[in-house]
């Protein structure tokens, strides 16, 4: 993928503040700033970091993973999305009908699942749940409590280190808080361009 110039990204970090690894958000910001990433902010304590950077997104993911491993002493997988990509994720509605009492989760992956991975997802014991793959995201519709779901543990095993999950509400809150800033910055840049 070619360099995109300076872009605002969200880094979704896997396994931050779970499994005995506790990282304060102030420290996480400091680590990102030490990697010369700009305008760093964190959003809730589940490992969502907003920042600006130039360069190839895949290269940025690897660079951030290396920097986090050096600072924290363990591996943290990183999944980058631009705000345009997040807008598309939030707008995608794979499930229709009455969704009262349901929760929609999004699994962010590094790349779209191949045939073998799609087969694993297709073999999950969904029961009343729904599962949908679109590009680099897997959408999981949970009817009822997540803890009671027969698919939660098997889904976690299929995803493994290849993805990280967020409630779609978190994605929408991120967009509501930061997405308008990105759009406004883009409009300001266009307004300043000479004709």
Query: Does the pLDDT at position 51 exceed 60?
Result: yes
Render pLDDT for 104-127 as a digit per residue (tens, 0 to 9). 999 999 999 999 999 999 999 988
> Per-domain residue ranges for the chain?
7-82, 95-195
Buried b (16+ CB within 10 A) or exposed e, 126-155: beebbbebeebbbbbbbbeeeeebebbebb
Average pLDDT, rounded, for the chain: 87
Query: Does the pLDDT at position 136 exceed 60?
Result: yes
Q: What class, spelled out in words, does domain 95-195 have in CATH?
A: alpha beta
* 16-30, 102-116, 136-150 — most confident range: 102-116
Architecture of the domain whose range is 7-82? 2-Layer Sandwich (3.30)
- Domains 7-82 and 95-195 agree in fold: yes
């Amino acid at each position: 993928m070619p360099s995109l110039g300076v872009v605002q990204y969200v880094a979704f970090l896997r396994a931050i503040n779970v499994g005995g690894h506790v990282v304060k958000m102030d420290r996480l910001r400091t680590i990102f700033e030490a990697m010369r990433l700009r305008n760093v902010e964190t959003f809730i304590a589940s490992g969502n970091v907003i920042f600006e950077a130039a360069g190839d997104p895949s290269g940025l993911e690897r660079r951030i993973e290396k920097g986090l491993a050096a600072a924290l002493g363990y591996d943290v997988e990183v999944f980058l999305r631009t705000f345009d990509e997040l807008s598309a994720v939030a707008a995608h509605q794979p499930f229709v009908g009455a969704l009262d009492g349901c929760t929609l989760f999004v699994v962010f992956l590094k790349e779209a699942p191949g045939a073998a991975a799609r087969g694993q997802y297709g073999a999950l014991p969904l029961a009343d749940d729904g599962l949908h793959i679109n590009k680099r995201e897997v959408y999981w519709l949970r009817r009822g409590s997540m803890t009671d779901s027969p698919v939660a543990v098997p889904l976690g095993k299929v995803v493994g280190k290849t993805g990280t999950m967020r409630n779609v509400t978190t994605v929408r809150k991120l967009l509501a808080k930061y997405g308008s800033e990105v759009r406004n910055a883009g409009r300001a840049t266009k307004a300043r361009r000479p004709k």
